[in-house]
Amino acid sequence: MTAERYTAVFTGLLSLKKPGEYLYVRMGEDPCGSDGHTVSRGRPPYRELGREISFRELPEGCKGLVLDTYRQVWNL
């Protein structure tokens, strides 16, 4: 079970997505540790999202996970 406090939504033009669907990552403060994370594709849970924050405001572990996921999605 994850304590998902943050959600990163990738809004780029992915060839495998349907209109309105995006890849998104839900994660806790320590996404690679005890808090865990979930990578999903579909319609993000907009009703459950709070306020928008910048990438800089994410905890370091979350930044790393978001960057790793981004690199995997775009084969970088």
Residue 16 is given by DSSP the state T
**Residue whose C-alpha is closest to residue 26's, from 54, 47, 45:** 45
Domain boundaries, the chain: 6-73
| 28-60 confidence digits (pLDDT tens) | 888 888 788 888 988 888 888 889 999 999 999
Complete DSSP assignment for 19-76:
TT-EEEEEE-SSTTTTS-EEEEEES--GGG------GGGS-HHHHHHHHHHHHHHTT-
**Band of residue 62 on the pLDDT scale cut at 50, 70, 90:** very high
**What CA–CA distance (Å, rounded) separates 1 from 7?**
15
Task: State what percent of residues in the chain have pLDDT above 90.
Answer: 34
Structure tokens at 43: 């319609």
